[in-house]
Structure 1
Amino acid sequence: MKMQLDFAETTPLVDGWKSNPTLQTHLQSFLKTGIPKVLSGFSLTNPALVHGDLDLHNILFDPKSNRHTAILDFNFAHVASAADEDFSSFPSIHGLLMGSLEVKRWKRYVKRCSTVSLPLPLPR
């Protein structure tokens, strides 16, 4: 997240946030104290299959139903924490998909990610 905040300083995509000087302070505070609270009691070692390059060009959509029909290109797939997908996904739009940084919402999200896991040992 620190890398994304540093990137946000340089991109014109989020120039609008500079008109709200408390937003950057809030985000930095969340990075220092909020994320550790969210991750407390959560095991980052619970393995999951992470695509590693999930982006719009790797997802097929059915235009009639407006639903995805396939996920392609698993060249960067790896086993990691399910939350890792969020840190590597949608690079073409700079990963700007997350909504509220509210701690309760993040805790629910992390709890959901922790229930998605692969059996160990991994099948060959």
Structure 2
Amino acid sequence: MELLQVAQRATDLPRATDFYTRLLGTGPVGRFDPPGLVFFRLGGTRLLLEAGAPSSLIYLRVDSVRAAVRRLRAEGVAVVGEPRMIFRHDDDALGTAGTAEWQAFILDSEGNTVGLASLEAPEPE
């Protein structure tokens, strides 16, 4: 079994499409209007923007949470959770052993919280 699709609330579809195009660095792969659906491809999972969808907390993998937050903040995106190291990967069960899981949170154009996550070097102790 694999995750096929995640839906995200988008009350202003053109605005949300523009936001996610900039955030993801790629445009949508499908638009159906009516009924008002926009799809992005995230690896093997589709991200659906739809007015009738509930807000979902999605986490997007980025190369560096700290660099992504600097870039997004400079573009005027609201940061609601500053970058921080969450835990260290002691083995390869959830990530590469020896790295640390970093996370931060932003608000998208529709007011949904979006998590950013990366595997980076741990902070020195």
Q: Structure 2 length as normaliser, TM-score?
A: 0.26
Pick the structure with greater CA Rg: 1
From the two aligned structures, give the one with the greater strand fraction. Answer: 2
From the two aligned structures, give the one with the greater helix fraction. Answer: 1
